[in-house]
């Protein structure tokens, strides 16, 4: 398995993190982001959206980090991380969707603006972040993990950009339940970190 990777990308990091948590080795292939390798014709052939990460496993090519987590959990029979069964699967998937939508539009966009100088509506990103983190904090005041009574790929998917929120100008200081959850993720066996976490 090979991951087209960027060290500072939270979406790449979540795949590295999950591989570490389940003890599966993965070969990292750093992408030359500054020179725009992810926009090259060769890369677009692998991922028409021109984004990282990309996961290659034999003739399987995946371009979405949430789908990579699901793929890895299924491939390695880790139902503990991604259950089967209609209800539990859907409850995990709902949080994969939060990673894909509310987290992307909130803390991820704010960080892209502040740290990587992306041109985007940073005001909207900060409002979306505040709203999201309020919801997360309330939710996590009532449960230890996002989707089920144990850690799942939902937690892995949502962790990176919440843990990096300060790089988008968002303080987690008032959100004790969010911070306690981040600490629980960091305390998982074989946890792997990245810069600024």
Residues that bind a second copy (CB under 8 A): 48-49, 60, 62-64, 66-68, 70-71, 74-75, 84-87, 89-91, 93-94, 96-98, 100-102, 104-105, 120-121, 124, 135, 138-139
For the CB of residue 71, give the shortest distance to a second copy in the complex, in Å.
Answer: 4
Helix (H, G, I), strand (E, B) or coil at 164: coil
Helix (H) or strand (E) holding 56: strand 54-57
For the CB of residue 116, give the shortest distance to a second copy in the complex, in Å.
Answer: 17
For the CB of residue 193, give the shortest distance to a second copy in the complex, in Å.
Answer: 25
CA separation for the pair 184, 61 (Å, rounded): 32
Return the number of the residue (61 or 196) whose C-beta is nearest a second copy: 61
For the CB of residue 17, give the shortest distance to a second copy in the complex, in Å.
Answer: 18
Q: How many residues does the chain have?
A: 197
For the CB of residue 137, give the shortest distance to a second copy in the complex, in Å.
Answer: 11
Give me the phi and psi of 150, to 5 degrees please. -140, 165
Structure tokens at 3: 């991951």
Return the number of the residue (90 or 180) whose C-beta is nearest a second copy: 90
Return the number of the residue (41 or 187) whose C-beta is nearest a second copy: 41
Return the number of the residue (50 or 166) whose C-beta is nearest a second copy: 50
DSSP 41: H
Q: How far is C-alpha 68 from the geometric centre of its chain's CA atoms?
A: 10
Return the number of the residue (141 or 193) whose C-beta is nearest a second copy: 141
Task: Tell me the CB-side half-sphere exposure of residue 90, using CA atoms within 13 A.
Answer: 3
Q: Strand 60-62 and strand 54-57: pairing?
A: antiparallel
Residue whose pair of structure tokens reads 């894909």 in the numeric block: 100
């Amino acid at each position: 398995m090979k991951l087209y990777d960027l060290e500072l990308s939270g979406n790449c990091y979540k795949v590295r993190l999950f591989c570490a948590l389940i003890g599966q080795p993965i070969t990292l292939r750093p992408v030359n982001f500054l020179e725009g390798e992810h926009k090259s014709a060769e890369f677009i052939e692998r991922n028409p959206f021109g984004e990282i990460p990309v996961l290659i496993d034999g003739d399987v090519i995946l371009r979405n980090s949430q789908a990579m987590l699901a793929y890895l959990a299924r491939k390695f029979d880790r139902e503990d991380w991604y259950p089967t069964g209609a209800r539990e699967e859907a409850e995990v998937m709902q949080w994969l969707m939060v990673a894909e939508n509310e987290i992307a539009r909130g803390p991820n966009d704010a960080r892209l603006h502040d740290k990587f100088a992306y041109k985007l509506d940073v005001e909207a990103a900060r409002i979306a972040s505040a709203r999201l983190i309020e919801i997360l904090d309330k939710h996590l005041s009532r449960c230890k993990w996002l989707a089920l009574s144990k850690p799942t790929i939902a937690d892995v998917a949502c962790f990176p950009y919440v843990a990096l929120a300060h790089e988008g100008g968002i303080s987690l200081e008032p959100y004790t339940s969010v911070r306690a959850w981040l600490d629980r993720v960091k305390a998982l066996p074989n946890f792997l970190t990245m810069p600024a976490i």
